[in-house]
Chain A
Amino acid sequence: MDGISITLQHYLFLAALLFSLGVFGVLVRRNALVVFMSVELMLNASNLTFLAFARDAGMDVGHLPALFVIAVAAAEAAIGLAIIIAVFRSRGTVNVDDIRTMRL
């Protein structure tokens, strides 16, 4: 394994890349489902960061937030998908441009 060794920086760069992709997806894509998947991407990017630091420091405690995030992401996926289905049933679309309920 000499020559190329994977260091902490590599993990962090990968995580930053994934996070940026996620942000990009959330901000740009119009399909609510894709926006949702992008959010998952951001969550996983943060998971990766946690685990990378945990491994680098040799402390298992860094795994805890990652487990929490996975749990939260699962819950979010369940509820978020339910909302999207409900919205689709009532409006016939999942295009976020058409769902402007935050303006009075």
Chain B
Amino acid sequence: MLALVNPFTDAFPGAPENLANLLWVIVALPLAGAFLCGVLGKFMGRANTNFLACFTVFASFILSCLTLWAVGAQSTQFISPASGVPVRWALWLDLGRWFSAGDFSAHYGFLVDRLTAAMLMVITGIGFLIHLYSTEYMEHDDGYWRYFAYLNLFVAMMLTLVMADNLVLLFVGWEGVGLCSYLLIGFWYRDTEKAWAGRKAFITNRIGDFGFLIGMFLLVLLVGATEQMGRETALGRSNFSDIGRARAWVTAVHDQGPLNLEVLREWALRMPAETAKDRPGMTLGTTITTEGPLKGKTFGQVLTAALLLLLLGAAGKSAQIPLYVWLPDAMAGPTPVSALIHAATMVTAGVYLFCRLSFLLVLSPTAMAWVAMIGALTAIWAALIAFAQDDIKKVLAYSTVSQLGFMFMGVGVGVFWAAALHLVTHACFKACLFLGAGSVMHGNADETDIRRLGGLRKEMPWTWATFAIATLAITGIVPLSGFFSKDAILHGAHTTEVAGYPWVGHTVYWMGLFGALCTAFYMTRLYVLTFEGKRAPDARVPHAHESGFRMVFVLVFLAFLSVVGVVWGIPELVPGPGGRKVALMEGYLAPAMNLADRLASIYDTVTHTESSPWLGFAIAWAVALVGGATAWLVFRSWLPARAGKPLPNYIALFWSWARAKFYVDELYDLLIIRPFTVLSKGLYKIVDAGLIDGVAVGGTAGVLRRVGGWLRYTQTGNAQNYATVMAVGLLISIGVVLTWVLR
């Protein structure tokens, strides 16, 4: 626990190498759990399956705590395969080559630095809590073994995603969590609507994954072109002046593969930005001259294109505009799944990806501006939709989309640590909110319509208290974790200038502030309608019952985390890089974000102005209070007082549009799905049914049948007829031989 509070300790008692050799166990445990639950779960019985599923994740959690402790210590280091220099505060395990194709190769390796360690705590820690919660939540479901197998598989895949030492393995985890998400959204697959929601999520994600793949391919080509130009051109050779490191890098490109993170880091180091005019050798502005699809483009253009494609992938997984539509529908799955996958962990994969590739992102201001603007737009858009949703889980889903938008804003303006911090704190309080919603549903006969709840404060005191704390946390009230994490992002946006896009920082700041206002409003509305006031007359059950011990314990624990998470965000707490005082999380992640910060300051792609954050914090706090208070007044006094009278026109219009999710689903249906369906139907009728089934398959069969019908008459069954044919044939053959061959 010491490492949790003070990460700057250098007192890891064990040998870090031994721990590095055990990294694979962190993934293998939940994977084995998934296998056992899936294959034997039905025969083991409910209690054994519950125990096994929780145990594997808890064991992973213990190991994750050890790695967190280890990477807190400076003595923990490995020799980078791409540069030959030691990388501190990180563990690395290379399990050998996974596959190679031509020049390309990929290894199966795990890398844990402080960013990964923070993610590990979220995944295994909150993952374990949600497993525990699920044991009670799913106690009446016969598919429990399937559920826990999927859930364990999800944890294993998410761990693969964050621990992968190269983008190919990361992509395995990326697809794996997508698969588990699909399986769990459609967990109750007998319900057609839920099965459709699963499919929608999967297909939307596939669109993003397509972008991810193409982006990866571009990065492969980019590294390959750099390596080739470095060897073959005089210009490139000066990039490689340090011959030892150059050799190490080239070897690593061929051995570890071009998508290894250390290889990419070294690439980012070797490739100065366009602004570094005085540096000899290739820069991002250099035109690629090697043969191939990249010829004639500059390195910078290709990098930007790759990052934008990765942004598409991240937008799919992290539910950003334009691919956010699947997340609200994903609430069809069991509520703990919504908490774990669709709030705390999987949907943050996009944010993790950009934090992981921060050193590439800072080389491309264009990509950063895109990320920031997409995030800001999503934050507001989703918050506006959340205003008018009546389903408790839908509100939380849009809230998740909105909060992920905040994280993207942080990534886009280069405050990666704030984005990561918001990721962690959001995981705590949003998991608490979702599990609270699950508890509400559990106690109210699966009622999710907040208009038919109300007054639960007295009937479900524990759920009420924890939900209230988490609401305050997400709203951004001071002593809770959400405040500092969200406002670290806003402060970062306010004081950051992205090179070439001077307007981005301020625009994002004001949009973020508005988003925070909206957040306060809809969360307070959700809280008021669910827990305050009187119980709705048309409630499904007359009295709600509080959930059992396991669920309440998890809720309390998560609420506790939502409060103490604030420690990580208090600004100017500990000494950080450059002699200034920084927040705990910034100091903690400094080694992982070191390269990005260095590159950004060398090439001036991102400029942070130093200024005291306290004034901005005061503004943000006031904004949150105003939003919350407005919602409180509107839904506690104004609306009840107006009961029976119609709303003013403009509000009613906005309300109906927001309730219909601004018709985005309908728009997509009209623009993409309908034409696609028509095209598919046409293709089906003409190509599939017409050409393939009719002409190719049916035609072959028809011709054979007809010819066979004619030939049928020659089969008389009379041996003499056959013999006659043979004799005549023989005669003709002899005649031919005598006439033409032996002439």
Contacts and interface: CB of A to CB of B under 8 A. Distances in A.
The answer on A and B forming one complex is yes
B398 to A, nearest CB: 71
Contacts of A101: 717
A103 to B, nearest CB: 3
B723 interface: yes
B726 to A, nearest CB: 10
**B-side binding surface: helix, strand, loop or mixed?**
helix
A96 interface: yes
Contact of A103 (B715, B723, B724): B715
A26 interface: yes
A88 B648 CA distance: 108
Nearest to B722: A102
Interface string B694-735: 000000000000000000000111111011100100000000
B718 A96 contact: yes
A84 interface: no
Contact of A100 (B718, B723, B724, B727): B718
Given A23-B727, A27-B727, A103 B716 contact: yes
A28 B724 CA distance: 9
A16 B62 CA distance: 99
A100 B717 contact: yes
A101 B719 CA distance: 9
Given A23-B727, A27-B727, A100 B720 contact: no
A27 B730 CA distance: 14
A102 B724 CA distance: 15
Most chain A beta-carbon contacts within 10 A, residue among B716, B719, B722, B727: B719
Contacts of A97: 718
A27 B729 CA distance: 14
A26 B728 CA distance: 13
Interface residues of A, number: 11
A104 to B, nearest CB: 8
Interface string A63-104: 000000000000000000000000000000000110011110
A26 B723 contact: yes
Contacts of A102: 717-719, 722
A103 B727 contact: no
Interface residues of B, number: 10
Nearest to A32: B719
Interface string A1-41: 00000000000000000000001001110000001000000
Contacts of B727: 23, 27
A17 B723 CA distance: 19
Nearest to A26: B723
Nearest to A23: B727
Contact of B719 (A23, A28, A96): A96
Contacts of B715: 103
A42 to B, nearest CB: 11
Most chain B beta-carbon contacts within 10 A, residue among A27, A28, A35: A27
A27 B727 CA distance: 9
A97 B720 CA distance: 9
A96 B717 contact: no
A38 to B, nearest CB: 11
Contacts of B718: 96-97, 100, 102
B717 A27 contact: no
Contact of B717 (A26, A28, A103): A103
Nearest to B724: A27
Contacts of B717: 100-103
A23 B725 CA distance: 12
Contacts of A35: 720
Contacts of A27: 720, 723-724, 727
B725 to A, nearest CB: 10
A102 B717 CA distance: 4
B716 A96 contact: no
Contacts of A23: 727
Contacts of A28: 720
Interface string B111-130: 00000000000000000000
Interface in A40-58: none
B485 to A, nearest CB: 83
Most chain A beta-carbon contacts within 10 A, residue among B715, B720, B724, B727: B720
Contacts of B724: 27
Contacts of B722: 102
Most chain B beta-carbon contacts within 10 A, residue among A23, A97, A101: A23
Nearest to A96: B720
A23 B718 CA distance: 16
A17 to B, nearest CB: 15
A44 to B, nearest CB: 18
A103 B723 CA distance: 15
A86 to B, nearest CB: 16
A100 B722 CA distance: 12
Nearest to A29: B720
B414 to A, nearest CB: 83
B733 to A, nearest CB: 15
A17 B309 CA distance: 89
A30 to B, nearest CB: 8
Contacts of B719: 96, 102
Contacts of A96: 718-720
A37 B727 CA distance: 18
Contacts of B723: 26-27
B716 A26 contact: no
A102 B725 CA distance: 15
Interface in B144-160: none
A21 B282 CA distance: 96
A27 B719 CA distance: 9
A23 B717 CA distance: 19
A96 B722 CA distance: 13
Interface of B: 715-720, 722-724, 727
What are the 4 tightest A-B residue pairs by CB atom distance, in nearest-first order? A103-B717, A100-B717, A102-B717, A27-B724
Given A27-B720, A27-B723, 14 more contacts: A26-B720, A27-B724, A27-B727, A28-B720, A35-B720, A96-B718, A100-B716, A100-B718, A101-B717, A102-B717, A102-B719, A102-B722, A103-B716, A103-B717
24 contacts: A23-B727, A26-B720, A26-B723, A27-B720, A27-B723, A27-B724, A27-B727, A28-B720, A35-B720, A96-B718, A96-B719, A96-B720, A97-B718, A100-B716, A100-B717, A100-B718, A101-B717, A102-B717, A102-B718, A102-B719, A102-B722, A103-B715, A103-B716, A103-B717
